[in-house]
């Protein structure tokens, strides 16, 4: 990818014209219906640095991080709001520039300090002007967050330039060049133009999305010295013409209906080459969105149908103390418990002794009563002996009579059985 950079001034007879960016002097007038974020997005899309950064991420994605899957819109909003997506992108780039301290990069906004430290010595070689923010005892974090989105874009562009200077990036380029043909992602696709000032470029992939860029080059002369060739100035502008399918179709219609045949050819090329690729990308994106919505719906249904389960609370651990206060308290409590148990045992023994004395008295009373009852029965016995003897004799006579009657009956039964057999 070819990037325009200000060349160092050399003492020659005829100095070369200076390249300037027209977007630096532009004042963006937002419509009444546009929000500040929309105006900032439009301003970013007028900068050629944004297209350069997106192309760099497209080319070196496998070298930076396979997990880094940010869309172009997310990168734009990250530069505007300085959110977590912006931090994720910068951290992935900083990890490829030694020395690397992963702990400091992952610690909140500490990556901003690392960014300023690494870019400060290289800034005159990879960017123009002075570095907006330098490392200054933590003040650089608030300074970076207070920058304009275009200044943050300058930081990101310089970081990408520094990343390409590393050994692994150079080896990656050489390996692709030695294969005989460069990877098609190493360059933008030029669709054409009017052949003079305006050119159209098509770039992107299935992760960040596809975009149509418009390049405008203008050459002007200063009013003071129009006769001097060294006063010529090249004005370089880069605009994002289309970012979605509707915008691609609109640009294709406008260019196809234009009078110059070169621009009409560009419109036809957009319809035949660019729009089918964008349509395929948008269909794939819609399917992914529908799949995600379906998964979220299934998860929500499962959660609503499942019974609520209460998990047990976490264990509360007591803080560690390194004094003997708790040990002394434990000993005193144990001594008090033993004293209480001794007192209870003494009370129990006293109660048992009292109960035993009472039971002895009761047993003696019972013995006295039993002896008196025996004496009374002995006195009453002579009167009742005569009646008892008579009753016994009567029962004996009755039992003897019953025995004799039974024997006679048995003899009769035997006689009758013998007669029947005969």
C-alpha to C-alpha distance for 416 and 291, rounded to whole angstroms: 111
Instruction: Report the side by side order of strands in the sheet with 209-221.
Output: 18-21, 232-242, 209-221, 198-205, 189-193
Q: What is the pLDDT of residue 258?
A: 86
Phi, psi of 351 (to 5 degrees): -65, -40
pLDDT in tens, the chain (422 residues): 434 344 343 333 343 444 445 544 443 434 445 677 888 898 999 898 999 899 999 888 888 888 888 999 999 999 999 889 999 999 999 999 988 887 778 788 889 999 999 999 999 988 888 899 998 888 999 999 999 999 999 999 999 999 999 999 998 888 877 765 556 666 667 888 877 788 888 888 888 889 999 888 876 554 444 444 444 445 667 889 999 999 999 999 998 888 888 888 988 999 998 999 999 999 998 898 898 888 888 777 666 665 556 566 666 777 777 777 777 888 888 888 887 787 777 777 777 776 666 555 555 565 565 666 655 555 554 444 455 556 666 666 666 666 666 666 666 665 555 555 55
Name which of 107, 113, 189, 168 is nearest 144 in CA terms: 113
pTM of the model: 0.62
Report the half-sphere exposure of 121 (CA within 13 A, side-chain side): 3
Q: What is the pLDDT of residue 117?
A: 92
> 360-391 pLDDT, tens per residue?
555 556 556 566 665 555 555 444 445 555 66
Q: What is the pLDDT of residue 372?
A: 60
Q: What is the pLDDT of residue 89?
A: 93
Whether residue 157 contacts residue 56, with contact meaning beta carbons closer than 8 Å, is answered with no
């Amino acid at each position: 990818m070819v990037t325009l950079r200000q060349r160092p001034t050399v003492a020659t007879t005829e100095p070369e014209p200076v390249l300037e960016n027209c977007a630096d002097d532009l004042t963006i007038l937002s419509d009444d219906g546009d929000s500040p974020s929309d105006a900032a997005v439009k301003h970013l899309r007028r900068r050629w640095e944004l297209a350069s950064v997106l192309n760099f991420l497209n080319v070196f994605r496998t070298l930076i991080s396979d997990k880094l899957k940010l869309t172009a819109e997310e990168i734009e909003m990250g530069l505007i709001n300085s959110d977590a997506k912006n931090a994720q992108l910068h951290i992935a780039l900083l990890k490829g520039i030694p020395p690397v301290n992963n702990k400091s990069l992952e610690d909140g906004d500490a990556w901003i300090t690392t960014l300023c430290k690494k870019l400060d010595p290289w800034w005159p070689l990879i960017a123009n002007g002075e570095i907006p923010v330098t490392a200054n005892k933590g003040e650089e974090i608030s300074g970076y967050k207070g920058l304009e989105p275009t200044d943050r874009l300058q930081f990101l562009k310089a970081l990408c330039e520094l990343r390409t200077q590393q050994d692994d990036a150079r080896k990656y380029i050489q390996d692709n060049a030695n294969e005989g043909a460069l990877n098609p992602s190493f360059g933008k696709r030029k669709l054409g133009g009017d052949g003079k000032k305006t050119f159209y470029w098509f770039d992107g992939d299935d992760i960040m999305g596809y975009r149509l860029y418009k390049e405008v080059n203008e050459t002007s002369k200063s009013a003071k010295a129009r006769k001097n060739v060294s006063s010529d100035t090249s004005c370089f502008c880069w605009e994002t013409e289309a970012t979605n399918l509707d915008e691609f179709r609109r640009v294709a219609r406008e260019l196809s209906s234009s009078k110059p045949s070169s621009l009409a050819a560009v419109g036809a090329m957009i319809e035949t080459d660019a729009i089918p690729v964008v349509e395929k990308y948008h269909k794939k994106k819609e399917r992914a969105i529908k799949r995600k919505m379906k998964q979220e719906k299934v998860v929500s249904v499962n959660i609503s149908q499942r019974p609520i389960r209460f998990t047990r609370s976490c264990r509360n651990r007591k803080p560690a103390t390194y004094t003997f206060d708790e040990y002394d308290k434990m000993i005193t409590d144990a001594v008090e418990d033993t004293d209480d148990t001794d007192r209870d045992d003494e009370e129990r023994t006293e109660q048992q002794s009292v109960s035993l004395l009472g039971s002895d008295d009761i047993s003696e009373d019972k013995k006295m009563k039993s002896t008196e009852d025996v004496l009374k029965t002995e006195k009453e016995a002579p009167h009742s002996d005569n009646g008892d003897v008579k009753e016994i004799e009567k029962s004996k006579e009755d039992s003897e009579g019953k025995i004799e009657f039974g024997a006679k009956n048995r003899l009769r039964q035997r006689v009758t059985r013998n007669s029947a057999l005969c």
